[in-house]
Amino acid sequence: MVIALDRIDPSSSQPDPTERDRLRAVIDEAFHHSQVEPLIGLLPALIEHHQQHPVASIGLINRAIQALMRASRLSQAESLFHQLMQAGGHPNAGTFEALLTGLLKHGRQEKAEELMRTLNELGVKATATMHN
């Protein structure tokens, strides 16, 4: 599947629903069928989309992190999070929950604890799931 994101208008305050739907389709395919290679190829475009539409796209990023974690692609999930932060992105509690759940599922306790410290430093409120 080839996704063209060159039609995203950076001057628009609302994302193009067609492009958002295309991103969502690739992310959902990765989530439900562990087809992560197309998603990995779209990570830079996903970050760019988030820079243009932070509120509308954070759910897509969270779902992408979940998909990568489910497919045991921890390094790509962590990389997506770090790219998000470096780009001035706005993670929310769902972002951290997706990362924490994946890290703990894969036995990465120390990394999860480090992420909880980051969460606290950023002032993101933990959900009940994050505390369990």
* Cα distances (Å, whole numbers) of residue 59 to 106, 109, 117: 22, 25, 22
**What ranges in 1-92 are assigned the alpha helix state H?**
17-33, 37-52, 54-70, 74-86
Please report, for the chain, how many H helices and E strands are present, in that order: 7, 0
pTM for the full predicted model: 0.79
- Tens-place pLDDT, residues 74-106: 999 999 999 998 988 888 889 999 999 999 999
Residues of the chain with pLDDT under 70: 1-17, 126-132
